[in-house]
Amino acid sequence: MASDTFEEAVRYYKMKRWDIALQTFLMVESEEFKEEEKMELAYYLGLCYTKMERYNDALLYLEQVVTGNTSSLRICQCRLTLAYIYMITRRPKMAQFELERLVKNGFSSPQIYTLLAYSALVQEQHAQAVDYYEKALQIDSANTTALNGLGFLLVEANIDLPRGLELCKKAVEKKPQNAAYLDSLGWAYFKSGEVSDARNYLRRALDIAPRQKEIAGHMKAVVGDAS
Q: Which residues of 137-171 are buried (b: 16+ CB within 10 A; e: fewer)?
A: beebeebbbbbbbbbbbbbeeeebeeebbebbbbb
Determine the average pLDDT of the residues in 183-204: 97
Query: Distance between CA 95 and CA 91 in Å, rounded?
Result: 6
Dihedral through CA 45, CA 112, CA 75, CA 107, nearest 10?
160
> Given a cut of 60, is residue 7 above it in pLDDT?
yes
Q: What is the pLDDT averaged over residues 27-34?
A: 88
Q: pTM value?
A: 0.85
CA 20 from chain center: how many Å?
A: 26
Distance of CA 163 to the CA centre of its chain: 23
SS3 readout for 67-132: HCCCCHHHHHHHHHHHHHHHHHCCCHHHHHHHHHHHHHCCCCCHHHHHHHHHHHHHCCCHHHHHHH
**Residue 20 — very low, low, confident or very high, per pLDDT cuts 50/70/90?**
very high
pLDDT score, position 227? 46
Tell me what the mean pLDDT of segment 162-189 comes to. Answer: 98
Residues 41-72 have pLDDT tens digits of: 999 999 999 999 999 999 999 999 998 877 78
Check pLDDT > 90 for residue 73.
no
d(CA 45, CA 149): 32
Q: State the average pLDDT over residues 195-208.
A: 97
Residue 149 has pLDDT above 90, yes or no: yes
- Write the pLDDT tens digit of every residue in 177-186: 999 999 999 9
Asked whether the CA dihedral 42, 44, 45, 51 is positive or negative, the reply is positive
Which whole number is the average pLDDT over 86-105?
94
Average pLDDT of the chain to the nearest whole number: 94
